[in-house]
Amino acid sequence: MAVDGLSMALVSRRIASVYTALALGKPIPTSAFGSLRDVVDAEAEYEASDDYQEDRAYWSANLPPDSGLDARLSGSAGSRDAYSSSATAQLDSVVIKKIGELNKSLRVRRYSVITAACALLVRAWSANTSEVALDFPVSRRVRQETKTLPGMFAGVVPLVLKTPPDCTVAELCRHVDARIRELLQHQRFPVHTLESAQGGHSGFSHVTNRVAVNFIPGRLTLDLAGTPVTASYTNHGPLGHFGLFFLGSGDELILSTAGAGQPFADFEVADLADRLQHIVRAMADDPDRSLSSFDTLRGGECEQLESWGNRAVLGTPVSSSGVSISGLFARQVVAGPDAVALRFDGVSVSYRGLDEASNRLAHVLIARGAGPGARVGLLLPRSADAITAILAVLKTGAAYVPVDPGHPDERVGFVFGDAGPVAVVTTAGLRDRVAGFDVPIIDIEDPVIAEQPVTPVEGGPVVDDVAYLIYTSGTTGKPKGCAITHRSVVELLGPLQAELGSGSGQVWSQCHSLAFDFSVWEIWGALLCGGQVVVAPDEVVRAPEDLYSLLVAERVNVLSQTPSAFYALQAVDAAHPERGTQLALEAVVFGGEALDPQKLGGWMQRHPESPRLINMYGITETTVHVTFREVVAADTDSVVSPVGVPLTHLSAFVLDGWLRPVPVGVVGELYVAGAGV
């Protein structure tokens, strides 16, 4: 038999009445329970009335867009039992007093103040900063016939609250109070029938992401033949979704939770109580403060987040001095002129050879107008010549603008038309694709280049000159050029060289398009520390078997891959386990897309010691990489991509829609600051 909470009070009082009569030898009093027939008749009358149609129209207009909280979810469902209550947390007496002060000063009901605080707590987990939808249990016992009859009358209605950032605490509390008064006027209507029709939840048991807020009397006092007995609610009933329950009245208020799932799957009741009390204190201390000024961080949590986010680096002044990419490369030429800088198609190029070849091309580029503030287009496949061209452009002080030959003509035209290069470097086979532009075309294989002097060009870049202009994919509209300075690239490489132990002789693969900023990391991560770049031709990159063979043959130490490409590569490794010992890999660096650690389990079992698997997050605007995280065996139990912590020259913060820090475990937007942005 299903009954609601009020029914338990009615039944308990009836039991106490019967028990007392029997104990005292008196006649059992007549039951005060109402008639079920009367209730059925009253319900039929209601459904045929104008009140029913009015209530239906009200709820049709006031249902939230869907049944769930538009939440920033971590993906964890937690381990809660959907039908068990949590432990309880007693709210502090000072907080209870502050609630009383607010409800009196604002002339709203006590539970309206508490509900407003709950709305702010839930909003911190919500992707929608201007509206919060809660589940609000109601008795639905409007008619006298229902007030004395045990049964399942209670229902749940959505309480939709507006929470714009400029709204004040006082305005929110009054808004909540008015909304509750309004919905209680229409509580009799079975709202779940409408939500079922629109695909929402139907009743208490269906799991949703909408949080319920309920207020339950703390105790029921009974008289058993002169012996006082106190009964307490020990279970909140079959609530499939998550609920915040407040038990008690007066000077006592206890928080309990029930239900499972998001958004508070990973939070204990004591933690939620602390956050809620923090909100209430702030509300009471200044009812005129705006909602956007609230956060739900516990004491010390802000400091912890700032430490993880490396906020301290933002206080470090940016040096006005520094060395450009080409300047640092020149140092490597001096340190090891005959060391191998590049290998492509079995041919090696020394540091001296690369330096001289790039100087020759740089002289040609300067004659075409290249210099600081100018841009030079590159339409080149991945090759040794392409790296020569990049270095030549940088030596002039200009920025290179790479376009992948695999891109359609429309994109080629858009990028070069938007960037306005003073010249375009390409090959004889590709020059027709840029012949329609009014810009000088330089064939990378033109014999005239070989006739130029190998001496360095005059001038050159300073550290804050733009090094390259890479255009984004255009997924949010037209592609946009992102200009990155020499300083940003140098700032990136410093901490990462220390993390990876980069040094002379280390071999790096170069597998990515020059128009993808992963190539910046692949090229200069090697060349600015005396390492060697092995350029993988397009046909090798597209064939995992051939790429694996290249890694073995060239003794590659550092491999950079998108996760998707690496999954294909590790399938080759799994098919030929005997070849795994031939690899010389020291580090595999992931980037470009989310990593699924579960897919790395087999590789880590076959290669338990080396290479290190490094997951990095970043975007073009942040100079390739922002965060660093070494993947460990325990990560393979999860599908969550671990991005780690910011590199030492950057800061990173997870914020909500109001730019406030979110608690640990809550999903937000990642904001990056520092020298690489």
Report residue 358: phi and psi, to 5°: -70, -30
Q: Can you tell me which residue has the tokens 């509580």? A: 187
Query: Which of residues 508, 524, 540 is at a domain's end?
Result: 524
Q: Is 294 helix (H, G, I), strand (E, B) or coil?
A: coil
Same domain membership, residue 258 and residue 110 = yes
Q: Can you tell me which residue has the tokens 């997050």? A: 617
Same domain membership, residue 384 and residue 281 = no
Q: Which of 529, 32, 68 is nearest to 262 (CA)?
A: 68
Query: Which of residues 296, 313, 333 is at a domain's end?
Result: 296
Same domain membership, residue 386 and residue 272 = no
Same domain membership, residue 237 and residue 197 = yes
Same domain membership, residue 344 and residue 382 = yes
Count CB-CB contacts under 10 A for residue 319: 9
Q: Can you give the residue range of the structural domain that contains 276?
A: 5-71+88-296
Bridge partner residues of 349 (DSSP): 342
Same domain membership, residue 272 and residue 185 = yes
Same domain membership, residue 355 and residue 222 = no
Q: Report the CATH number that the domain containing residue 59 is assigned in CATH.
A: 3.30.559.30
Let me know if residue 387 belongs to a domain.
yes
Per residue, the 3-state secondary structure of 38-102, as one string, reads: HHHHHHHHHHCCHHHHHHHHHHHHHCCCCCCCCECCCCCCCCCCCCCEEEEEECCHHHHHHHHHH
Same domain membership, residue 264 and residue 137 = yes
Let me know if residue 645 belongs to a domain.
no
> Block means of pLDDT (10 residues each) for the chain, length 677 residues?
80 91 92 85 91 95 69 50 66 94 95 95 77 90 85 88 94 97 94 76 50 84 90 62 82 80 69 91 95 86 93 85 94 98 97 98 98 98 98 99 96 95 97 92 96 95 97 79 96 86 92 97 97 97 98 98 97 95 97 96 95 95 95 93 93 91 86 90
Kindly compute the dihedral angle of the four CA atoms of residues 92, 94, 100, 105, in this order, to the nearest 10 degrees: -140
- What pLDDT, on a 0 to 100 scale, did the predictor assign at position 66? 62
- What are the tokens at 557? 């130490």
Burial 466-481 (b: 16+ CB within 10 A, else e): bbbbbbbeeeeeebeb
Same domain membership, residue 329 and residue 250 = no
Give the Cα separation of 392 and 329 in Å (integer): 12
Q: Is 175 helix (H, G, I), strand (E, B) or coil?
A: helix
Give the Cα separation of 430 and 403 in Å (integer): 12
- What pLDDT, on a 0 to 100 scale, did the predictor assign at position 168? 97
- What pLDDT, on a 0 to 100 scale, did the predictor assign at position 365? 98
- What pLDDT, on a 0 to 100 scale, did the predictor assign at position 71? 52
Let me know if residue 76 belongs to a domain.
no
Asked if residue 137 has a cis previous peptide bond (ω within 30° of 0), the answer is no
Report residue 566: phi and psi, to 5°: -70, -35
Q: Report the CATH number that the domain containing residue 408 is assigned in CATH.
A: 3.40.50.980
- What pLDDT, on a 0 to 100 scale, did the predictor assign at position 176? 98
Per residue, the 3-state secondary structure of 567-592, as one string, reads: HHHHHHHHHCHHHHHHCCCCEEEECC
CB 266 within 8 A of CB 235: no
Let me know if residue 497 belongs to a domain.
no
Same domain membership, residue 266 and residue 177 = yes
Q: Can you tell me which residue has the tokens 């043959």? A: 553
Let me know if residue 253 belongs to a domain.
yes
Give the Cα separation of 545 and 32 in Å (integer): 83
Let me know if residue 503 belongs to a domain.
no
Query: Which of residues 477, 502, 524 is at a domain's end?
Result: 524
Give the Cα separation of 254 and 578 in Å (integer): 63
Same domain membership, residue 173 and residue 238 = yes
- What is the C-alpha end-to-end distance of the chain, expressed in Å? 63
- What are the tokens at 248? 């008690």
Computed from CA positions of residues 461, 318, 619, 475, in that sequence, does the dihedral angle turn out positive or negative? negative
Domain count, the chain: 2
Give the Cα separation of 294 and 288 in Å (integer): 12
Query: What secondary structure does DSSP assign to 362-389, as a single string?
Result: HHHHHHTT-STT-EEEE---SSHHHHHH
Give the Cα separation of 408 and 433 in Å (integer): 10
Let me know if residue 587 belongs to a domain.
no
Let me know if residue 285 belongs to a domain.
yes
Same domain membership, residue 376 and residue 232 = no
